[in-house]
Amino acid sequence: MKKMLLGDFAIARGAYEAGVHVATAYPGTPSTEITEELSRYPEVNSEWAPNEKVAMEVAIGSSLHGARTIVGMKHVGLNVAADPLFTVAYTGVNAGLVVCVADDPSMFSSQNEQDTRLIARAANVPVIEPSNSQECKDFAALAFEISEKYDTPVILRVTTRVAHSQSLVEIGERKEVAVKPYVKDIAKYVMMPANAKKRHIVVEERLKKLTADSNTFDINRVEMKDTELGIICAGGVYNYVKEALPNASVLKLGMVYPLPYDMIKKFVAGVKRCIVIEELEGHIEGLLKANGIANVEGKNVFGIQGEFSVNLIKEKILGQKTEYTVADIPARPPVLCAGCPHRSVFYTLNKLKVSVMGDIGCYTLGAVPPLCAIEATVCMGASIGMAVGAEKADPAFARNTVAVIGDSTFIHSGLTGIVEAVYNHSNVTVIILDNRTTGMTGHQNNPANGKDIHNNPTYEVDLEKVCLSLGVPSVSVVDPYDLVAMEKTIKEELSKDGVSVIISKRPCVLLTKALYKGFLVTDKCKKCRACMKLGCPAISFSENGAKIDTSLCTECGLCQKVCKFGAIEKIGG
């Protein structure tokens, strides 16, 4: 039976059919749906981990104890999980261990455009890369086989266009695989110097064997056509190549690390001109040149930025440029939703002219006009450390700088930031935006909202108690819809010595599916534009004054509170 499946769902299906026992992840676009989908299969023990490092460690533990395991994350999540990854490459696995990593060329929902293949190379871990949903399913199953055959973790790499495209997939049955017996093996699993030295030899031998064997892997294949031009490519780029250059000879790599050098050498020798077309870094090209296959082009033709397309390939290789004019019209950037509980925090910080060290989540949108409150965003958890650092540069910053971090992000990597602050005599003020969910990635539960991946009740990490027990002297909880309390609390905490934590607590407005009548603007409106400073998408302004779109309004009441003329009323009173 064929089904239309998202690449991520197809990976989940492939892992399921391959008998996967355990699935763990921290949500991250475009990888989140893999674990969401796996959680729907009762045969799979699935979970959200507090961060990618813990997810990877759980995955290592279950693999060593005999369970086929998949762990998912986005590209920057692999940085967090890099520490265990580099060493599980030494220990190897027991049951298959598949690390599924989703890269985001063009940064649709990411802070950078890093290339997972480079990390895999540094960690000596093999990488396979599917080009469509069918391959997502097939490669997920294959990844378990390679993992077990070569005793190595395997990275299944996808990009946004593969992860978030749907195409037809042939659905199969689950093949039950017994959990393997756990065998105590200190020399293999305890990575202290004497053991690790021996294991490093194994790593090198394994890579050599994989390099040699990859020449015979079905997933690496040559499609010989016109020998004037040969293209080496993998993943989603293969689809663009097939459309842009239907007559070219193509070497499609299913395994992008290590590379099948013998196969590639033969292919390059058989064509007049050979170009490697790869998004992001020149990973394949660089390896070829380092291994004596110099007669290839790549990054001299294509850059390292953004995702590629059929038109781009036609332009760069055939010189065929598609002419078109893009209309010069107002942009439509993403915004905080109408009724978003984060809005009042940024409105107040803006009003108080406080400098904000930001973090990763929906609330990063606090940086865009008209709020323009956030001044730095780097990675998950960075806000607290950056705010502490500001004070180290100049103690005066502690009085007008805050860190802003979401509940899920705080659990992910904010806790150690708090320890840093209390331990090192900081006077930092941290605002935890607790909206009771992991919002940006599509509302996943997290350890601070009392629900597990199946929406079942579980222990709820109490953020207030956590901060108090870590030694924060001043912890307050504020309802962000209460503008007066929000302003008063921020002012007070900024003036206090020692670390302060303000928990701004209210569920994401998208979680409450209530029906609203909305607010309206009366003729008392003096056109002062005070409500426009909220940056609410439900409020617009014309020569007639402010106007509220009732289809978007969620009756949060912020506009009513900032209006000095009482011109905003709730419909129906």
Binding site for other proteins (CB under 8 A): 2-4, 6, 29-30, 32-33, 108-109, 132, 161, 164-168, 236, 238-240, 242-243, 309-311, 322-327, 329-337, 362, 365, 368-370, 440-442, 529, 532, 535-537, 539-541, 549, 551
Smaller CB separation from other proteins, 71 or 539: 539
Smaller CB separation from other proteins, 89 or 337: 337
Min. distance of Cβ 542 from other proteins in angstroms?
10
Smaller CB separation from other proteins, 64 or 76: 76
3-state class of 510 per DSSP?
coil
225-263 in b/e form (b: 16+ CB < 10 A) is: eeeebbbbbbbbbbbbbbebbeebbbbbbbbbbbbbbeb
Min. distance of Cβ 453 from other proteins in angstroms?
18
107-126 in b/e form (b: 16+ CB < 10 A) is: eeebeebbbbbebbbebbbb
Smaller CB separation from other proteins, 374 or 539: 539
Min. distance of Cβ 337 from other proteins in angstroms?
6
How many Cα atoms are found within 13 Å in the side-chain-facing hemisphere of 459? Answer: 1
Min. distance of Cβ 390 from other proteins in angstroms?
26
Min. distance of Cβ 331 from other proteins in angstroms?
6
Smaller CB separation from other proteins, 490 or 567: 567
Kindly calculate the radius of gyration of the chain based on its CA atoms and give it in whole angstroms.
Answer: 26
Nearest alpha-carbon partner for 80 in 121, 114, 124, 38: 114
Smaller CB separation from other proteins, 6 or 23: 6
522/568 Cα distance (integer angstroms): 6
Q: Where are the beta strands (DSSP E) in 78-153?
A: 97-103, 127-128
Residue 417 near residue 384 (C-beta atoms within 8 A): yes
Min. distance of Cβ 116 from other proteins in angstroms?
18
Min. distance of Cβ 104 from other proteins in angstroms?
9
Residue located via tokens 């959200």: 48
Residue 106 near residue 306 (C-beta atoms within 8 A): yes
Min. distance of Cβ 324 from other proteins in angstroms?
4
Cα–Cα distance list, 235 to 4, 103, 133, 162, 546 (Å)? 19, 11, 11, 8, 49
Residue 384 near residue 418 (C-beta atoms within 8 A): yes
Smaller CB separation from other proteins, 94 or 116: 116
**Beta bridge pairs of residue 548:** 539
3-state class of 433 per DSSP?
strand
